[in-house]
Structure 1
Amino acid sequence: MADTGTPDGTDGGTTVAVAVTVEESGFGGVEELGFEGEPFLVPVPSAPSLPSTPPAPQTSPRALGDLSHLARDIADRVGRAHAAVLEAHEAVQRHLLARCAPGARPPAAPAPQPTGRMDGPARVELVRTVPADAAYSVSGQADPAWILNTAAAALPLLGERGLAPAGTVHRPGRTVLTWHRGLPEAGAELLVRAGAEAVHRDERGIRFTFDWQVHTEGNLLVEATGTGGFLTPEHAAEPLPDETPWPERQVPRYPRQFRPLAVTGRSRLTWQELRALASGFLAEVLGPDFEGEGSGPRLPGPAPRLIGSVTEATCEGGRYGQGRMTAQLTFHGGGPARGADASALLAEAVSGVLQVYALRCGLHLCLPDARFQPWDGGPAAIEVIDPTALGAALRCEVDVAEVGLVPRPHVVADAVVFAGDRPVARLHGIGVALHEPPGTELGALTIWEARDSSAAHDSLRQRGALQRMLLAHSSEGDLSAVTGEIEASSVTVRPRLPRGDLLMVDRALDYDAEPLDFRSGATLTSEYGVHPDPWFCRENGSGAVPNLLYMESSLQAAAQLSAIQGILHQHRDSAFVCRNLEGRATLLRHADPRGLALRHRITLADHSKLPGAILHRYTYQLSLPDGPVYSGESVHGFLTKEVLDNQQGLDGGQYVPPWLDRLPTRPAGLRRLDLSHDTRLGRGRFALLREADLVPDGGEHGAGYLLWERTVPEDDWFMAHHFRFDPVMPGSVGVEALFQSVAAYALHTGLADSLPDPAARPAAHVELAWKYRGQITPGHRRMRGEVHIRRVRRQGDGLLLVADGSVWRDDLRIYQVDNIGVEILPKTGGTVDEKVRP
């Protein structure tokens, strides 16, 4: 859609309204048709006016005999001429509508008097061809607002055919819109089918319900249902009653923390900068991280036509914790006063704001020559509260509700449009997505092939972004991103990485073995980009980097190595899962990885094939840009369901109770603690402890003891993310609860009272060892954990505590964890890790 205008409308080009009437063309008596856009001359042959009374007979020397055949011939010609007039008018009407651009209908002429009151449903069909000037200039795709305006233009036509009372104007109400396919190209033929039915009549006019569908090449492209009205002008600004409740979105308890694929400091954008984004100058406006390859991406041209400026842009916060955008809107000459459908304009304007958000997050980097499409993952609701206010200066507040990479990078949001402080429209579930061009083959790429493929560009950042998208696909269910064209299994329960915020590996950098070759010594180098303010630090009580980050990230990278080697092809006809069985690891030094790339180097040390199981032993090292921070070794078991069901815990299937329950009497000094509100230990997802029993000099070592208990949450966040189709509590979460138990002992016995604002973090140079022989799934009821303090000593300006611990599932001990090292330090502003920032 060409646009040469400016926000104030002073340089908007020439707009010509051509009205073709029956009187001008010699047809007489048919209503006026409006067109706004390029001038269009209709070549219609003139027809002689027919007199109201037959003329007097004319004498002719060639007239012979009875002249009745001449009267019949004249009557036949009059009938055929009248039919031709009607057919020609219908052709002119259809042709003009087919050339009509969004915002094209001029102010309605006085409404014609309907020939009859239509109380039943009315329907209409239109055939439209997408003109070149209604397509994005780069991609050639049809402008979605043009398609929506095309469909909505059928509603006034239905009114003209008898639905609308005389003197009323079309008043949009609520539209529920669903996209089903990608945008067609310029030149595509669209079939619009629309219908409406009056539901209420009074002195204000009528209210009606409608539905319309747009098809292309025989396939449903987009459809809508909704309500509207034909109201007298003095009532056109009044709200239309709607008995259907406005959709309400639940605010997530734990909003997902999307990590942008590129980072910019720009939170405000002028209209000139939006124009620059529309011209493809992403790096010049947002920064060098946003440089793309090929002809795209860019902000589609219609966006700056409706957006005057972006005044606020964040990737976090807002109502749903996913980000917020605020923009000034200006319809400068293209608003409802010029005939454009208000719902289509609002959808286009808010979609433009979301396109800016998507570019700011770097979503375009996932795909070659990325192009925008409407989101087809669910319906969007659009309600026009006051259409008469849409010609004024408007403010749009957009709360992002969802941002993700599956099935393609997308953003979904809710929005409210204000005139001053008064809401004049609202939208729910409006969204945009980024897709690769037609014919681009991404489905056959594995995460490893994406590293080398030309389809992934020459940019290291873009290769990493594509891999990140493919890994998200594999964790959400599509294992072809790992297995390639070979189908791993028809069984859905297969080894896969965690989902969402628990996925802690992004991309493979180097791999020195061939797939399906389980050679000892094979290595993988991969990375995980840590968020600048990650949820696991934010919700950790001290704000320090928890053990969970290093443990989860290293174990996930190890599983990625096995997946690339082809472990998913084993035991293809059986449910097959991955479980970490044991390991040991050491935090080499304290560091702050926030905002940095955590690099893994994983080596396969041993491959053992057993009946119904495969064991992989790995060694690994994790590094930051200034050197190693964590190293260890571990064993993953890839197990069939039969082997998994035979796990009997750590005590041969026998119930061995915790130390406190084995005592004949309650020991002196035992204290009952309520830790559910102790935010020094954790909050949100990291609020892992509830009630606990503390014995100051108890435990197997006589240096202290703590036993806690909690129910297994039915809606446990960790199980929902670990893993899809195979929910199980991560072992790292159970270990994290034991780390918190040691901290709770120190904070509730007075050991740390001499420290100002004491806070806990994992201790460096203490080798943690763990063994898992069971799992906690949604069907289990109770978790219990105990720690036995082994030693406490002063270290620098804080304390060091070392303990051993265990975790029970119902009545089975399944985790044993030794050498749990915890430091207690004074927290002097910020977090205890800030002073070790490299």
Structure 2
Amino acid sequence: MTEVLEFVGEPFDAVAWTTPPPEPAPRHDAAPEPGPVARPEPASPHTQEAAVQAVPAPAESAPPAASTLAELRTVLVSAHSGALRAQAALQRRLLGLPGRAAASGVLVRVSDEAAFKPLARSAVTRLGATELRRLAVGDLAEVFGAGYDQEDCNPEVRLAAGAELALAEVTALQLRGGAGRRGRVLARRVPGADPVDAAVQAAQVFALYTGLHLCLADARFVRVDPQVTRIEQSAEADGDDAVEVEVEWIDLVPRPGLRVRARCGGTLVTDVAVALHERPGVPVGPERGGFPARWLGRMSSLGERVLLSEFQLAHLARGDQGIALGPEFAHYTGIKATRIPTGGLLLVDRIVTLQGERGKLDSATYRTEYDSPADSWYYADTANASMPNCVYMETSLQSALLIGYHLGATLSRPDETQSLRNLGGTATVLREVDLRDTTIRQDSALVGTTDMPGSTLQSFTYTLSADGEPFYAGETLFGYFSEQALANQTGLDAGRSVPTWLEQNPGSGMRTLDVAARRADPAAPLCSRDHLSLLDDLTVVDGGGQYGKGYLHAERTIDPEDWFFARHFHLDPVIPGSLGVETVIQAMQEWLLDSGLADGMRDPGFVLPVGVPFTWKYRGQFLPTDGSSTLEVHVKQVQRKSGRLRLTADASMWKPGLRIYELTDIAVELRENGAAPW
């Protein structure tokens, strides 16, 4: 491990409580996850009847204060707890998407970041009578392609489940169609067929098209009876046999399913809900010890039988942790606990293989996969020519941390609330690659585990590959921290308030770049937008900074309703460290464009520099209640090669009163399209 990964304990325990340690804090409560069908009470986290259950809990309270310092901490902890509860409610509202359509029939549009990610993609968007008959007998891969193959799994997953086909043809399958952009199906029904049957079968077609069945091994369609309303046939209608279905809700939790509304000629069919449930008694997650008793049905991009799929990882992020990792983890369901991100920040799809044993935390190896479709939100929002740095960091770190948690890093203290935080690492881009429509395979290793009072530390190494060739490698350190340990963090400077360079040099000549104004111009090139709009203005001191080559400074107001709090993490919201790093990168990119150094470059694009080890260190996190964040960048080096311009810097970030991020040799590169490698 490199020096940056050596953990120094005092930032987490420098100021101890002046009273005895409090009892374990009460857990946050959570409403049950929404589902498209009614379910009985769960008997086991592994059977069809399993569902996410609410765990009522009293409100959190801070430890008793016995000094001015303890009183201050009590107030801060109480405020933080209130923010967490508020964020939990916000997250349920944003992620659940359970509400019925408005009476007017207008669907709320889902953001691209929150869009459901299909388990498979097909170029087939029209189905004739022959293809529908094949779906009715279960020949799913014959219709949609090899990515839908499950060998001999799911013999009962078929269109109409043996009933008469009500659809004559499907004229359009639109993954992001409809008013809500959750999906749309256009079809024609068989003359005289029941409109409800036609609506249900159209919903089943969309479920198969998005691959909802691929994460279960022995499933079947289940449904609830929809509501049927006669409506006036509009003049623009395509005829009485026309079927138009719009998806209102689609998810993997608690079971893969969707809810739609349909217009079938003069009939409006609402609350059409179909889901895929396993047959009674069939396992849908690992057994005790973390390994499934039988294959759970999911295939890798290369046709291998995987260990855990998108279904288990969705439950790990925000559902039943017993389904995700085994019965030992079931008690973490519905409470504040270690989780991976959710929504558009869930950037690992499958655990393919694992060589390790639960309870043995000294070493293990494993392989994961992440599919990166070209229509992913971050490709649209980044200023980069391909994947932004924050996604490189998030997908690699999420894959790395999974194995330590799976092997039981928190199980030695099952009654203690433990939060997972990244502490630092070093990573290097090995080659320049466009990752659109690529499956990233990551090989990771747990190097070691260290237990400390109030925390458990784990170190990892990892290598990411695309098309069999490595493109990114690194090492990292994670920690599992008790609530008391998190409350006692004192940043990178042992609790001292360290001023920024600008505060120490108040007479420096400053100028301001209005990043928000440039972003407001739709034609502005090389600009981060929408979910990656992380910077509004930038203060520049030309010739300033630690190295005398330029200094950048920016402040950002933290809004408790910022989109990423609902994604990272469920019931434990903090700003992802990778987005803090991304903010620094955007500051460097904006300065580079403004400096004039790139003038004359033909068709330039930002890329991640190859062969530059980047090191980060985190000793704290940005919370919804922190109010603001501050960054500074010290320009270190500007290099030129034919068609390329590279900027390297060091940087830090502050929450109010504490410096908590330190970034070394962070680099950005602008290159002409087609320029030779550096």
TM-score of the alignment, normalized to the shorter chain, above 0.5: yes
Residues 587/507 of structure 1: CA separation in 2 closer, same or farther (3 Å cut): same
Cα drift, residue 795 of structure 1? 2.2
- C-alpha distance in structure 2 between counterparts of 1:759 and 1:455, whole Å: 43
- C-alpha distance in structure 2 between counterparts of 1:717 and 1:509, whole Å: 30
Q: Which amino acid aligns with 1:744?
A: E
Residues 408/447 of structure 1: CA separation in 2 closer, same or farther (3 Å cut): farther
User: 2:644: which partner in 1?
Assistant: 798
1:810 lines up with 2:656 in the alignment? yes
Match of 2:430 among 585, 588, 594: 588
- C-alpha distance in structure 2 between counterparts of 1:456 and 1:447, whole Å: 19
Cα drift, residue 476 of structure 1? 1.0
Cα drift, residue 392 of structure 1? 4.9
- C-alpha distance in structure 2 between counterparts of 1:252 and 1:303, whole Å: 34
- C-alpha distance in structure 1 between counterparts of 2:130 and 2:465, whole Å: 42
Per-residue CA deviation, residues 797-826 of structure 1 (Å, 9 max, x unaligned), is 020000111112233221111111111123
* Contact 1:316 1:322 (8 Å CA) reproduced: yes
Residues 622/815 of structure 1: CA separation in 2 closer, same or farther (3 Å cut): same
Within a 5 Å distance, the mapping from 1:70-149 to structure 2 comes to none
* Contact 1:510 1:525 (8 Å CA) reproduced: yes
1:413 lines up with 2:260 in the alignment? yes
TM-score norm. by structure 1 comes to 0.64
Residues 415/811 of structure 1: CA separation in 2 closer, same or farther (3 Å cut): farther
- C-alpha distance in structure 1 between counterparts of 2:356 and 2:200, whole Å: 45
- C-alpha distance in structure 2 between counterparts of 1:720 and 1:557, whole Å: 20
* Contact 1:490 1:573 (8 Å CA) reproduced: no
User: 1:350: which partner in 2?
Assistant: 199
SS of residue paired to 1:274: helix
TM-score norm. by structure 2 comes to 0.78
1:764 lines up with 2:610 in the alignment? yes
1:501 lines up with 2:344 in the alignment? yes
Per-residue CA deviation, residues 701-734 of structure 1 (Å, 9 max, x unaligned), is 1212221222112222212111111111110010
Residues 653/409 of structure 1: CA separation in 2 closer, same or farther (3 Å cut): same
Q: Which amino acid aligns with 1:562?
A: G
Cα drift, residue 247 of structure 1? 5.5
Per-residue CA deviation, residues 37-91 of structure 1 (Å, 9 max, x unaligned), is xxxxxxxxxxxxxxxxxxxxxxxxxxxxxxxxxxxxxxxxxxxxxxxxxxxxxxx
- C-alpha distance in structure 1 between counterparts of 2:403 and 2:37, whole Å: 39
Greater RCO (Cα-Cα under 8 Å, separation 6 or more):
2
SS of residue paired to 2:135: helix
Match of 2:619 among 760, 770, 773: 773
User: 2:192: which partner in 1?
Assistant: 333
1:559 lines up with 2:410 in the alignment? no
1:655 lines up with 2:489 in the alignment? no
Cα drift, residue 773 of structure 1? 0.9
Cα drift, residue 635 of structure 1? 0.8
1:268 lines up with 2:111 in the alignment? no
* Identity value in percent: 35
Residues 674/627 of structure 1: CA separation in 2 closer, same or farther (3 Å cut): closer
Residues 448/706 of structure 1: CA separation in 2 closer, same or farther (3 Å cut): same
Cα drift, residue 355 of structure 1? 0.8
Cα drift, residue 757 of structure 1? 4.0
User: 1:306: which partner in 2?
Assistant: 166
Per-residue CA deviation, residues 739-760 of structure 1 (Å, 9 max, x unaligned), is 1111011011222121134332
Match of 2:148 among 290, 293, 309: 290
Residues 666/398 of structure 1: CA separation in 2 closer, same or farther (3 Å cut): farther
- C-alpha distance in structure 2 between counterparts of 1:270 and 1:250, whole Å: 31
* Contact 2:199 2:264 (8 Å CA) reproduced: no
User: 1:638: which partner in 2?
Assistant: 480
Residues 382/820 of structure 1: CA separation in 2 closer, same or farther (3 Å cut): farther
Residues 443/621 of structure 1: CA separation in 2 closer, same or farther (3 Å cut): closer
User: 1:421: which partner in 2?
Assistant: none
Q: Which runs of 5+ in 2 are unaligned?
A: 1-34, 41-101
User: 2:20: which partner in 1?
Assistant: none
Q: Which runs of 5+ in 1 are unaligned?
A: 1-176, 183-243, 335-344, 419-423
User: 1:706: which partner in 2?
Assistant: 552
* Contact 1:605 1:616 (8 Å CA) reproduced: yes
* Contact 2:364 2:446 (8 Å CA) reproduced: yes
User: 1:121: which partner in 2?
Assistant: none
Per-residue CA deviation, residues 78-112 of structure 1 (Å, 9 max, x unaligned), is xxxxxxxxxxxxxxxxxxxxxxxxxxxxxxxxxxx
* Contact 1:324 1:400 (8 Å CA) reproduced: yes
Match of 2:136 among 264, 278, 284: 278
Cα drift, residue 779 of structure 1? 1.4
RMSD: 3.0
Residues 314/646 of structure 1: CA separation in 2 closer, same or farther (3 Å cut): same
Match of 1:453 among 268, 284, 294: 294
User: 1:671: which partner in 2?
Assistant: 512
1:695 lines up with 2:546 in the alignment? no
SS of residue paired to 2:410: helix
* Contact 1:675 1:692 (8 Å CA) reproduced: no
Per-residue CA deviation, residues 105-137 of structure 1 (Å, 9 max, x unaligned), is xxxxxxxxxxxxxxxxxxxxxxxxxxxxxxxxx
Match of 1:361 among 176, 190, 210: 210
- C-alpha distance in structure 1 between counterparts of 2:481 and 2:124, whole Å: 49
Per-residue CA deviation, residues 425-452 of structure 1 (Å, 9 max, x unaligned), is 44454331111122323255479524x7
Count of aligned pairs: 572
Moved more, 706-715 or 761-770: 706-715
Within a 5 Å distance, the mapping from 1:41-60 to structure 2 comes to none
- C-alpha distance in structure 1 between counterparts of 2:331 and 2:515, whole Å: 47
Residues 271/263 of structure 1: CA separation in 2 closer, same or farther (3 Å cut): same
Cα drift, residue 637 of structure 1? 0.8
SS of residue paired to 1:808: strand
- C-alpha distance in structure 1 between counterparts of 2:445 and 2:480, whole Å: 17
- C-alpha distance in structure 2 between counterparts of 1:299 and 1:654, whole Å: 65
User: 1:187: which partner in 2?
Assistant: none
